[in-house]
Structure 1
Amino acid sequence: MARVVAVDDAADPRLADFRDLARADRRPDRPGGRGLVLAEGTVVVRRLLASPYPPRALLGVARRIEDLAPDLRGADVPADLTAYVTDADTMAHVVGFHLNRGVLASADRAPSPEPAALLAGARRVALLEGVNDHENLGALFRNAAALGVDAVLVGTGCADPLYRRSVRVSMGHVLRVPFAACGLGPAVTALRHAGFTLAALTPGGDPSALAALASHERLALVLGAEGPGLSDEALAAADVRVRIPMADDVDSLNVATAAAVAFHATGVPR
């Protein structure tokens, strides 16, 4: 059972994991800083507590900590985990803004798997290139969790999946979908060795080819950023180029939306 400790001083050094979240140069979840994982809201905190990411501490108002009591009694929760209870005003002073969801949890990052290990038991994966918007990335991971994608390879130019905004938008599912950061070349090599067909989603692709991909035993969907799309290198590495059939006067979808459509169209029945 985690310890519950009341705090009323926003300057309490024990709350350092949650301090100054509005300051880009001080955020504890930035890759160049302390690199912590931050979960926001009871649903996302529950998913963090059930994830491979080792929890460090919680901070929240009494009602939200009480909501999480069954999870904090879990057998896998570290014995020294502390939940700090405070009021909304003190929490706002610590965080740097008023937090509507009323609770945060911090965790250390888990070791990233090697691409080959990540792909070993996978049948459907996503390979991302240049997806640099945190909200799009979080939404894409939520879609991946919902629609049976086994793993994500996060390629060059992508945002950090464990940035607080990505974690929040994913509703914590970025903490359960296995992923690894990997350059395009090594990712393609690993996918080839594992027997995957690579399908690039691009406005210049074949709109009739998407449905046929559902029959492939192992499939990697390659997705790029909105605007520039996939690089020439990524397009050249693909076995097939596909597009989602849509109205003639619309050439593309938001990347997270496009991913959801493609995941559903090519998914393996569960």
Structure 2
Amino acid sequence: MNSNSNTSQPTRPLVNGKQIAEIKREKFRRKAQKKLETEQKIEEKKKWLQKYSDFSIFLDLNDVKTLKSLYGKYDMAHDDGDTKRRKRQRIDCGDASSDEESRRRLDLIRPYMDLKNSSGSAKQNRYFIAEGTESVRMLIEQSAQKNTPDRCEDLHPIKIHSIITKPSSFFEKPTLLRKNLEMSFSSYFCDNEDSENKTKEATENLNNSRNISPMQVIVASEDALTEIVGYNVARGAMACGSVTNYSEDWLHNYIGKKEKQDSGIRILALDKIDDTANLGSIIRSSAAFGIHAIVLSDDCCDVFYRRCVRVSMGHALSLPSVRVLNLASTIRNLRDKYGIVSYSAVIDKDADMILEKTLKGGISKNWLCVLGNEGNGISTPVVSACNHKIRIDMTQNVDSLSVGVAAGILLHGIREREE
């Protein structure tokens, strides 16, 4: 007997031609629908850019390459008189309107060009570059604010010149920076499509309400953005704005007003912090724990370095920082004039205060905390100018923390122990 005769053969399922045809039709409908939605989105982007062409432009890779080829033609900053005259003659021989638009576009992208090889410092040009969609979002919102309960009238407003962004970051969720721009500058984006039905007076009022235009918006394709900055921009957006300057005179005026309000004064002083990532981390913690101002020794690095701004999540631009020539002298002046009690953060065993053993109310309502760099700590003159030396209690096997981590622990702990 054949053993295979009892083995059942697998039966192939019957093919349902109608069902397969319906599945194919559904796939085709979905594909067509997706294509239509993509085309509609592209059309909506074009309409938005066209409607607000007074402050927005779109650049693709070819546009950027053309503009960069003109860079030497228009850049006259380092030319002598004869070279400038020859360049102006060549420029004047071309189409005036086209040439003017090219120069305008080149001026817009110039701050973002070749960032990979730039130092990242804002000292020379006095403008900053902020990276990342969250930093740009915060800057858009803050640049539209005037005075709010959380923003003292003495703080300088943030001036944003431009933002440069990928189309997806600006027009699409979850970032959708366009929405933040329209909400922050709502008076500018008032819908005037039905203005024909409005009275002349109402139309004039509408036009007057639109006189505060937002910053310039550069929407660039991903490859165009890479060509401009010199590297792949994973964060999706950047912003360029003016550096704000706070003097020591401003600091005294600001503290004097805070003293009259009797609401407490919190100041962080930094002595020779020379790492931009550490500085950015410290500033972010300072913003989180309610620091009113940061005082920098003259040998600290620039808070407007691109890396510092990025690590601080943009708070380096909104939290006032004052650079002083003599930090020890400034601390003594603040103590003598306003009664501000100063605490130098040290790792010394002879510190007269240990943070964890300080009871609530053991910290003055008006205080200043000093942090030094990780290699050398706080300089001796600055330590001597402070009222107290305070340290974080740690296990025997650990003698120090990174300055960024120490800043977060100290600022939180000191604030929790205020009078």
- Common fold: TM-score over 0.5: yes
Mapping for residues 110-129 of structure 1, pairs under 5 Å:
110-113=244-247, 114-120=250-256, 121=258, 123-129=265-271
Structure 2 residue identity aligned to 1:206: A
| Structure 2 Cα separation of the partners of residues 176 and 89 of structure 1 | 31
Asked whether 1:195 is paired with 2:289, we answer: no
Contact 2:353 2:389 in 1 (8 A): no
Greater Cα offset, 206-215 or 124-133 = 206-215
1:108 Cα deviation (Å)? 0.7
Aligned residues: 267
Of residues 20, 24, 31, the one that matches 2:114 is: 20
* Helix, strand or coil at the partner of 1:266: helix
| Structure 1 Cα separation of the partners of residues 158 and 333 of structure 2 | 25
| Structure 1 Cα separation of the partners of residues 241 and 233 of structure 2 | 18
Structure 2 residue identity aligned to 1:22: K
Contact 1:6 1:84 in 2 (8 A): yes
**C-alpha RMSD over aligned residues:** 2.3
1:238 Cα deviation (Å)? 1.1
Larger-Rg structure: 2
Structure 1 residue identity aligned to 2:158: Y
Structure 1 residue identity aligned to 2:388: V
Of residues 164, 177, 185, the one that matches 1:75 is: 185
Larger strand share, 1 or 2 = 1
TM-score, length-normalised on structure 2? Answer: 0.60
Q: Deviations over 1:133-189 (max 9, x none)?
A: 000000001101111222111112111111111111011111222221113144214
| Structure 1 Cα separation of the partners of residues 282 and 217 of structure 2 | 30
Compare relative contact order (CA 8 Å, sep 6+) and give the higher one, 1 or 2. Answer: 1
Contact 2:271 2:299 in 1 (8 A): yes
Contact 1:148 1:268 in 2 (8 A): no
Contact 2:122 2:243 in 1 (8 A): no
Structure 2 partner of 1:209: 354
Mapping for residues 37-52 of structure 1, pairs under 5 Å:
37-49=128-140, 50-51=142-143, 52=157
Structure 2 residue identity aligned to 1:83: V
TM-score, length-normalised on structure 1? Answer: 0.90
| Structure 1 Cα separation of the partners of residues 251 and 329 of structure 2 | 8
Of residues 161, 166, 179, the one that matches 1:56 is: 161
Asked whether 1:156 is paired with 2:295, we answer: no
* Helix, strand or coil at the partner of 2:347: strand
| Structure 2 Cα separation of the partners of residues 208 and 269 of structure 1 | 12
Structure 2 partner of 1:86: 220
Contact 2:283 2:315 in 1 (8 A): yes
Greater Cα offset, 248-257 or 137-146 = 248-257
1:30 Cα deviation (Å)? 3.2
Larger helix share, 1 or 2 = 2
Structure 2 partner of 1:104: 238
* Helix, strand or coil at the partner of 2:109: helix
Contact 1:47 1:175 in 2 (8 A): no
Structure 2 residue identity aligned to 1:59: I
Greater Cα offset, 50-59 or 160-169 = 50-59
| Structure 2 Cα separation of the partners of residues 117 and 92 of structure 1 | 44
1:197 Cα deviation (Å)? 0.6
* Helix, strand or coil at the partner of 1:267: helix
Contact 2:280 2:303 in 1 (8 A): yes
Of residues 45, 50, 55, the one that matches 1:3 is: 55
Asked whether 1:170 is paired with 2:312, we answer: yes
